[in-house]
Amino acid sequence: MEKTALFPGSFDPFTVGHEDIVRRGLNLFDKIYIAIGYNTNKKNFFPVNQRIKWIQSVFSDDPRIEVITYEGLTVEIAKERGTSFILRGIRTAADFEYERAIAQVNKAMSGIDTVFLLTSPEHTPVNSSIVRD
């Protein structure tokens, strides 16, 4: 049975920290869907088509990665794709508290577990806002 995970986010832009989580996640999963979520409450900096191209170019050498887009609940796209897990990166204790609450709701709604990977120390200060700035 193939172990698959969904790595959701806005990825505006996709950072070296995101790449690190995905590459390390491939040690745990057979396939990872990088899912670019559309949030009407957020103003995007980069167009979604550009983000897709950038991410695809980063992983062009690995067929185990598929870049998709979605709107709505993360658990719905995870179920639609048949993924068993949601993959998330954790940089700080504040990230953990936020992600834990979401993971518990997602588990209650869908039965899908969330797997957390700690960010590599050298990538901890990197986030999309800093990269955009």
pLDDT in tens, 12-56: 999 999 999 999 999 999 999 999 998 777 788 889 999 999 999
**In angstroms, what CA-CA distances link 123 with 64, 73, 76, 91, 103?**
23, 28, 30, 8, 23
> Could you give the CA distance from residue 66 to residue 56 in angstroms, rounded to a whole number?
8
Q: Is 129 exposed, middle or buried (0-12, 13-18, 19+ CB in 10 A)?
A: exposed
Q: Does 57 qualify as catalytic in the annotation?
A: no
83-125 pLDDT, tens digit each: 999 999 998 888 899 999 999 999 999 999 999 999 876 656 6
The SS3 call for residue 28 is coil
Pick the catalytic residue from 3, 42, 53, 132.
Answer: 42
Tell me which residue has tokens 């068993």: 84
**DSSP class of 119:** P
